[in-house]
Amino acid sequence: MTFARILLPTNFSELSEEAAAVARSLAHESGATVDVLHVCKPVEVALPAPEVGYLIRRLSPDETEARTKLAEFARRNLGDVRTTLVTKAANGSPAQQIARYARDSHADVIVLAARARGSVTRLVTPSLSGQVLRKAPCTVLLVEPSQRHPTPARGGRNGADAPEPRLAHGALCGTVSAR
């Protein structure tokens, strides 16, 4: 498959960097532009107010700091790939904002970092990746953590046996592990 526009949501984590490596590889193969998106969610706090008890105040995140981090993330992880940097401070869940941006920008694929979680955890708390899979208007490629360091509880593989990233065809696709 070839893509013209790849959406890479990030929270600046190490796992996001692995997803960026997959997005960079896809962009090089297809000549696509990568839109790097960071969603800043405003925070509500209760402040004491003598007349009324408490006053709820919405604090906007520091978008300037987020833009700086986004530019550094793209420079470090995407190098020479054409990128569009987007910082959104918006109400609503990050999954809604990612799906909305994908729709509005006509993204062909969303490359999203996905933490490995147990089945019980998935039932109790829905993951961001699961929510994006349900809401996305395009193909979603989930990148699981590479397993370079074996963990006693889960086993694991070293970097030499980690599978190459691959993309499944269809409206929704499965997960891959990044090197």
For residue 168, what pLDDT is reported? 37
Residue 32, helix vs strand vs coil: coil
For residue 154, what pLDDT is reported? 33
Give the chain's mean pLDDT: 74
Q: Based on the structure, what is the number of domains in the chain? A: 1
CATH label of the domain that carries residue 54: 3.40.50.620
Residue (of 53, 55, 35) closest to 45 by Cα position: 55
Q: Would you say the pTM of this structure is higher than 0.85?
A: no
Q: Mean of the pLDDT values across residues 142-148?
A: 75
- How do residues 82-116 score in pLDDT, each as one tens digit? 888 886 766 668 899 999 999 999 999 999 998 76
Domain range holding 109? 5-177
- How do residues 50-84 score in pLDDT, each as one tens digit? 766 666 665 666 677 888 888 899 999 998 888 88
SS3 breakdown of the chain: % helix, strand, coil, rounded to 5? 35, 30, 35
